[in-house]
Structure 1
């Protein structure tokens, strides 16, 4: 399966999303009813296990191959002072991922998930979206292809992380364009900007929305004109995962804004995804509500990097361990519920 070569190709793929394996889902749900516990007593853990079964096409889902991929990029609108950190942090943190020094590296090690980092143009910032589209169509498609090619199709579960100074501003702009509301409704502190920095972020998002209206009301155009290369790559990876029936554990605001176009393309566009957590960014919680995604964790995290989703991987592993490892009433010779 090859990445889309044109925007028309992209739209065709988004309109032909596979539905997963209904028979496997039914079998997994039936197994849950037979495990040695009161029905429904494991709550969301049961739902998670059934979800994985549906997309893996197996009554007993596995987590033998879980991958975490970080996509890193740079943003042209950072010249307006939207971040508490300078642009050179992008390259420095990318090196940190490769050297195993970042928080996500520790979480990946803790849960036994291989970690990869992909450079989506750290040395080639997007255009300042207050002046021009962030990406040309060829640039946008090339970034999507980077993410698309990162999914082999044999993964049991994938997690996406990101690095890009200014990308909470891009996520706020993309979310506002796709779902409406004022710039201030979607903008948060990000890396920790002060009150003046917050005002600058709101102003930049508002200017970007005004500059590209009404084109950004269309989700794909919103991502191209207001997003970043790392965001387009995450979108491409999520699309490829859906086409290859690989379940996705979503991270925070930037990742969720990156895949929102897929969720808006069809009512079930993000049906293969589980929201790992709700971040401290107010825009993320608003976005989760609008996309009807119920997060597994609420830990007030706002680091990015895939760290919230990686933390939620512990919950997902618990769900699979119980579902696939527990005995049924018949296997354990335990009397079931009275009729």
Structure 2
């Protein structure tokens, strides 16, 4: 059981620039019945954190976002959609985890990972961390991995399935390449020229440099298109999708959401923006792949919690490759700044 009563957390009180985020002392959450309290060692600063902090919301989704994020000020002032660390305490009734267990977890839209402790339900998306990875590596499985995993669970991907990943070098894109390859797919990755070696090393069979070539202009068609950018609505890519295929909208605006069912019915091609409900089994699958050497961590940069503003600035460039990891220093540990 932890004896700490206060913790350091990265907190924002207003929407806006990276400088709105600052370190503050907060009370350590108390685990309720069925809860797990994690002593966080690492989290990531994701595009989800950027969108929440900056109120950078896809077109038409402002009202919905206000419900989740807050209207005039942030309703969840500690960002961080994932965590890797050690179980510090468990609430009554929890038998699956015990203090000292190494775990990774998705906090999702509840956020909270950018702090020394985070509390979540023991039956949520939490599982034991891979034995083969450090916490800083293991946390990269969560945000991008669980997103790609839950989208792929909605379609049939197997040997010979052709998959196009648009925006292949981000957290979701680098995970999607690896997961599609594990299922036997033939993967085409769309990215900028500087990221070609990265996505090829992850298993992409073909790479399209969008700065030189318009991926929608060629004659190639695909069984599944994964749009991690938000610039491939069904109207643009319908003819690129094979009969019975799918468009997985990792990023979508209100128009795409409202028209997805109609497009699906009319075309016979699945158009979906709904990632579903990630669970522990999704994370456990990613861990098994990592432990067997079939899924690797893709880390752009690592920042200490004290450098949270710089981490947000880097993510704001829109040019991160894979994951930006946030290292939460431990008592007595001496880390250089990243």
Mark yes or no: TM-score above 0.5.
no
If the length of structure 2 is used for normalisation, what is the TM-score?
Answer: 0.29
If the length of structure 1 is used for normalisation, what is the TM-score?
Answer: 0.29
| Greater relative CO, 1 or 2 (CA 8 Å, sep 6+) | 1
